[in-house]
Each structure stands twice: as structure tokens, then as C-alpha cells.
Amino acid sequence: MKTHYYLGWFNNFFPENLSRVLLEDITDRKSLAMISSNPSIYEDDGSTERSWLEQAGIMFDEYHLINYRVQKEEAKTIIKNASVIFLLGGDTLKQNGFLMEYDLSDSIKKSSAVVMGASAGAINMSAKWLCSKNFGYKVEASSVYDGIGLDNFSILSHFDLENNIALVQKELSLLSEELNIYASNKDCAVRVKEDKIDVLGNVYLISYSKIQKLDETL
């Protein structure tokens, strides 16, 4: 049963509703595999994301951080044995490059683990995503990147949507003709369990250039 969590960012901890469903979904707690979004900065250790899980009462027997200190084959083994795979927040482009360089997408797709991503990690879990200076990336020209493709949609996560609805709609109009886009701010989540999609917080669906706010279902 596939279970994927596309998270925003949480300044404090997971809200009660999110903690409740995570406790239900994460029953195997042998190993947590965290994938860095800044793999050459070894202080980026996932402690914030770990604290969210621990506050929700979710602890693991083993914790593994995948960055450049870990060899490619070892990284794949860690992913294969993981109960939960967590793509950390931070630098979307660096994490995307690391996933491609280490050839981790197929390993993550084949895993039976619960897969989670926060902010940058959530964006890289999706099928495609738009890299644009209007979304805070230091690039001159906008371009579409391939993500892992766990589900056939795009994610814009942890972005100040409420004050930029028109910009987001315009910027993502072309990509939304190709696939649905779920856009959210902080303290939000999109959960895919089997073929059911649930949302927590202020999440918007952009499809065929139209944008609509979704009702919370978690």
C-alpha cells in the first residue's frame, strides 16, 4: 500500500490531525532514512524533521542520513531497508541533483516504505516541478525539472500563496495544462494513500490554468 506525505514546513510541530494519521500509517519503525537537501553540508542533519516525528510519538530503532558521506550502493541499501524515507527540506535544486547523481529515484519508487518530504523534499517527490526566480530560485530562466515521480502531479510547497495567488496561477499555468499541481504554504500536508488524496491546511489545486482552494479532509 503506497503512502506518501507531501509536507510544507512546520515552525512548531505537526498539528494533531497530522500526527494522528502518521501514527496510523507508520506502523513499522525499524529504520528512518533521511535524504539531505544539501548533501555536502554535513551539519544539515535532519534534526528539525526528526523533532516533528518525535513530538508526534514516532521514534525509530535506527536513523540514517544519506549525503555525500554515504556511498551510492550503501545509500540504496539504506533505502531498501527503510521503514520510512524522509526527503529533507532545504535546497530543492541540490537535492534534485543529488537524487539524480546517486540514482535514487528508482530505489525510492520500489520501496514499500512510507515516503515523506518537507518543502524541497516534497517538491522533489512529485513528477515535475517548476524552477523559477519568482519562486525564490536563483535562476535567470524558468525551467521544469523531473522529480522522483511517486505520484503523477506537481507540488509547490512552502510558498506564500495567500499573497501571491495571481503570480502562482500565471507562473504555473502552462505546467497545469500537463498535470495537476498542488500548491501549499507552511503547516500544510497532502497525503496520498493508495489512490486517495487528502489535504491538511491551505492547499490549492491548479488544473488547466484554474486555481481552487481545497477543503481540508484530514
- CATH number, domain with residue 61: 3.40.50.880
Q: Given pLDDT bands bounded at 50, 70 and 90, which one contains residue 98?
A: very high
On whether the CB atoms of residues 39 and 98 are closer than 8 A, the answer is yes
Q: Looking at the 3D structure of the chain, how many domains does it have?
A: 1
Q: Check whether 215 has a pLDDT greater than 80.
A: yes
pLDDT at 163: 80
Longest CA–CA span in the chain (Å) reads 46
- H helix intervals, 38-130: 47-55, 72-80, 92-101, 105-110, 120-125
Q: What is the mean pLDDT of residues 81-108?
A: 97
Query: Rounded to whole angstroms, how far apart are CA atoms 82 and 29?
Result: 9
Q: What is the pTM of this model?
A: 0.96
Q: Given pLDDT bands bounded at 50, 70 and 90, which one contains residue 165?
A: confident
Partners of 4 in beta bridges:
115, 192
Coil, strand or helix at 188: coil
Domain membership of residue 132 as a residue range: 3-213
Whether residue 145 is contained in a domain is answered as yes
Whether residue 95 is contained in a domain is answered as yes
Task: Tell me phi and psi for residue 140, to 5 degrees.
Answer: -85, -45
Count of beta carbons in the 10 Å neighbourhood of residue 136: 12
Q: Check whether 161 has a pLDDT greater than 80.
A: no
